[in-house]
Copies of this chain bind each other. A is one copy, B any other.
Amino acid sequence: MKLLMIDDDTGLCELLSEYLTAQGYQVECVHDGEQGLKQALSQEYALILLDVMLPKLDGFEVLKQLRQTKLTPVIMLTAKGEDFDRIFGLELGADDYIPKPFNHRELLARVKAITRRIEHITSLGNSTANKLSVNNIVINLAAREAYVDEHPLSLTGTEYEVLALLVKSAGEVVSKEQISEQVLGRRLASFDRSIDMHVSNIRKKIAEFNITERIKTMRGTGYVFIQGE
């Protein structure tokens, strides 16, 4: 999960970045308002940590402009503890507010409170659940992309189809006849080696990330995508 930190205190940024990275988040830092706004608009972050006192563009201004196009969750950080700031930020569309100096654990708890909720809701809304994930291999059906953990595999269309079919049927043998008919749209002819070639190419591409073999050959029967270790 990717977070953006906008704070001019580079020391704090580094410290928090390290801490949150250890907690499994991916953190990017920028140190002024302009840069921050640009970055926030250009990508999809799970959450933005936004300092109020910033050079070039203050935190409120960044938030205001961000909210014109995006609804990325924002937690505001500030040294001032006054009600006014707090309410102002929340009314502008911030999701939470943490007064500095703060406890790392509290920050983490608040970050989690928000990301947890988002994760939950988006996983509900996507009833068209379009991701398959088995044994480190992830298939994004909508984007027609496949990943080994986070690393994208550059598969051709047919390779993608073959892999997706195997992963969909993980743990079961899929015959070459099935693959040929479902992926290539034709009956498997006696000396047709296409499927073998496609599987070979897929294996080669997966092997670049040196993980153990996932596609097992069932001699005379077909192929199986291996489930579990």
Residues of A within 8 A of B (CB): 2, 38, 41-44, 68-71, 73, 83, 86-87, 90-91, 93-96, 103, 105-106, 109-110, 112-114, 116-118, 120-122, 124-125, 131-136, 138, 142-144, 149, 156-157, 171-173, 218-221, 224, 227-229
Contact = CB atoms under 8 A, between A and B. Distances in A.
Given A44-B134, A90-B110, A157-B218, 13 more contacts: A41-B136, A69-B132, A83-B106, A87-B103, A90-B112, A91-B109, A95-B113, A95-B117, A121-B121, A121-B122, A121-B125, A142-B172, A142-B173
A25 to B, nearest CB: 15
25 contacts: A41-B138, A43-B229, A44-B228, A68-B131, A69-B131, A69-B138, A70-B133, A71-B120, A86-B106, A86-B109, A90-B106, A90-B112, A91-B109, A91-B112, A93-B116, A95-B117, A121-B121, A121-B122, A142-B171, A143-B171, A143-B224, A156-B219, A157-B218, A157-B220, A157-B221
